[in-house]
């Protein structure tokens, strides 16, 4: 096995294990930490695929900013352990098979979609510069729109979380 | 590694996100499951981007991350509001629209 494959299986395994932990752990703060592990493992997988900029953004924005926000809110609300509730019978007997079926279907579809045309032009280096050119030239209007989205999100969060006088 | 492996991993992570979304009862954990699904989609976008030798996929990942950040800010504000009004984070207590 090449180094690439070893790293893929190690960090892919870590990502899947942490995602399972996110579901199985009962305390929200443990789930949040598991999600941070998933994001860090995914950042390594991005690096393996030669997407350095996306990997850095993943660590800085996702694991750094968004998850800190989550952890802040969990601590602010003093969230306790999730109590075990009895799932309805439909959820128990239909939910798991449907979820497994969905995963299998997605995996099957993307597997065939990707094996249809073999990879070419893979392994290019120096991705960040063309990415910046594309982002600020071809996608400049969507890029400006995202700033409006962020602005509206800030205003919305402020209005929603404000204490009523 | 062929892109199909990354795509299969992405599908598995997305499926786990769906499972968390359906089965968890804590509203914050449900929100985190949505983030997990977004991450799985990002992985698929990067894999396709590398396979096709185009960079658009990575630009899309950038936009997905921006939208996820905005969504997290607004969503957590809503969660704060629900917790303040209902003194509970359990989604089964939020049932005004239920018949």
Does the pLDDT value for residue B98 go beyond 90?
A: no
Q: Which residues of B touch A15 (CB under 8 A)?
A: 9, 13
How many domains, in total, are found in chain A? 2
Angle at A34 between CA A31 and CA A38, to 5 degrees: 135
Contact B69 A161 (CB under 8 A): no
- The parent domain of residue B32 ranges over 3-90
Q: Which residue of B has its CA nearest to A160?
A: B77
Q: Which helix (H) or strand (E) covers residue A70, if one does?
A: helix A67-76
What is the least distance, in Å, from the CA of A84 to any CA of chain B? 8
Query: CATH code at B11?
Result: 1.10.287.3510
Residue A96 covered by a domain = no
User: Is A119 close to B58, i.e. CB distance below 8 A?
Assistant: no
pLDDT given at position A109:
83
Chain B environment of A68 (Cβ under 8 Å)? none
Name every chain B residue with its beta carbon within 8 A of the beta carbon of A99: 15, 18-19, 22
The pLDDT of residue A43:
95
Verify whether the Cβ–Cβ distance B90 to A82 is below 8 Å.
yes
Q: How far is A104 from chain B (nearest CA, A)?
A: 8
Q: The pTM is what?
A: 0.88
**Distances in Å between the alpha carbon of A143 and those of A26, A123, A132, A146?**
38, 27, 11, 5
Residue among B4, B32, B62 whose CB faces A70 most closely = B32
In a domain, B53, yes or no: yes
| Pair (A78, A131) in one structural domain | no
- Taking residues B82-91, what's their average pLDDT? 85
Contact check, Cβ <8 Å, B25/A85: yes
Tell me, yes or no, whether A8 and A72 share the same domain. yes
Q: Which SS3 state, helix, strand or coil, does residue B90 take?
A: strand
CB pair distance less than 8 Å for B77 and A106: no
φ, ψ at B2 (rounded to 5°) = -70, 155
CB atoms B55 and A42 under 8 Å: no
Q: What domain range is A162 assigned to? A: 127-165
Does the residue A108 lie in any domain? no
Does residue A17 lie in a domain region?
yes
Q: What is the pLDDT of residues B17-58, one digit of tens each?
A: 998 988 888 899 999 999 999 999 999 999 988 888 888 889
Residue B99 lies in a domain: no
Residue B97 lies in a domain: no
Contact B63 A146 (CB under 8 A): yes
Domain membership flag for residue A15: yes
* Inter-chain residue contact A121 with B53, CB threshold 8 Å: yes
pLDDT at A140: 92
Using CB atoms, which residue from A91, A152, A157 is nearest to B77? A157
Assess if residue A29 is contained within a domain: yes
pLDDT, position A110: 77
In the prediction, which pLDDT does B14 show? 92
Residue A140 domain-assigned? yes
Query: Which pLDDT belongs to residue A123?
Result: 52
- Does A159 map to a domain? yes
Q: A119 lies in a domain?
A: no
B55 and A106 in contact (C-beta within 8 Å)?
Answer: no
- Does this complex have an ipTM over 0.85? yes
Q: pLDDT (tens digit, 0 to 9) for every residue of chain A, 165 residues total?
A: 788 889 999 999 999 999 999 999 989 999 999 999 999 999 999 999 888 899 999 999 988 899 999 999 999 888 777 666 666 666 667 777 888 888 888 888 877 776 655 554 455 567 888 888 888 999 999 999 999 999 999 999 999 888 776
User: How many structural domains are present in chain B?
Assistant: 1
């Amino acid at each position: 096995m090449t180094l690439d494959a070893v790293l893929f299986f190690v960090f892919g395994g870590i990502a899947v294990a942490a995602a399972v932990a996110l579901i199985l752990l009962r305390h929200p703060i443990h789930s949040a930490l598991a999600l941070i592990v998933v994001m860090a493992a995914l950042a390594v997988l991005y690096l393996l695929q030669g997407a350095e900029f996306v990997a850095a953004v993943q660590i800085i924005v996702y694991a750094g900013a968004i998850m800190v926000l989550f952890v802040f809110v969990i601590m602010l609300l003093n969230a306790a352990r999730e109590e075990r509730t009895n799932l309805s019978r439909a959820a128990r007997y239909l939910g798991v098979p449907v979820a497994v079926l969905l995963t299998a279907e997605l995996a099957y579809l993307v597997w065939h979609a990707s094996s249809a045309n073999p990879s070419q032009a893979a392994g290019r280096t120096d991705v960040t510069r063309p990415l910046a050119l594309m982002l600020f030239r071809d996608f400049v209007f969507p890029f400006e729109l995202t700033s409006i989205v962020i602005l509206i999100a800030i205003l919305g969060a402020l209005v929603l979380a404000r204490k009523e006088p | 590694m062929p892109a199909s492996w990354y795509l299969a991993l992405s599908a598995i992570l997305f499926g786990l996100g769906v499972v968390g979304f359906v089965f968890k009862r804590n509203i914050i954990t449900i929100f985190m499951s949505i983030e997990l699904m977004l991450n799985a989609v990002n992985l698929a976008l990067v894999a396709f981007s590398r396979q096709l030798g185009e960079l658009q996929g990575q630009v899309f990942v950038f936009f997905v991350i921006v939208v996820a950040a905005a969504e997290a800010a607004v969503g957590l504000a809503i969660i704060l509001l629900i917790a303040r009004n209902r003194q509970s984070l359990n989604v089964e207590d939020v049932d005004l629209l239920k018949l």
